[in-house]
Structure 1
């Protein structure tokens, strides 16, 4: 029974995390297109506040609920789960990089590298890989 609650919490937290990361990505794309605009700055500041209140806590819940499910179900050493950790860590690192880049733009006025324009595609692609591994459990 605990597994189902952890799974539900995990799914809600993942949706919240991915949404917040995509908002970060959108704010960064806006800063690439028009770094000195007031609406870009206001949106970026709102995304940073949202990140602190919602997205970062969701990331913590994703990891805690994920570990609860994995070890509660006895999947701790399953190959599919170990492989899944690689893209999960990539998303976690990307979340950190997005936050640092947006803070840098807003606080120091330094431009964001154009590669941040591809971040939405990276987020969705990595998320698709994670979802496939979690659902299919191929090995």
Structure 2
């Protein structure tokens, strides 16, 4: 989906005859959060008490990035898995946004970090599948 902001980012460079920036089509972490996470966790990050945990001020969100990445990739306690729905750059953008929004102060997450977490989760799942019954 091209928003007015993205269209404007493309229009000026094209009007003056230079190439548009490659990131013009890349969605921001905030927009990806709004599109994929805010229905449950709310645009404010405050969640819904008793149903969806708050992300704002959450020690979990601001803690070990590997645990947060694995949770978002695989889902947990009613939370859906996003490993088949979002790319490494998209997940990195969402997690970086969540870890820095609403007063949270945690380090950013790179797409390579998500790729490594995805590979580790896939390897663990494959190893579990190979166990004898």
Q: TM-score scaled by structure 2?
A: 0.31
User: Per chain length, whose mean CA-contact separation is higher, i.e. which structure has more relative contact order (CA < 8 Å, sep 6+)?
Assistant: 1
Larger relative helix fraction: 1
Q: TM-score scaled by structure 1?
A: 0.30
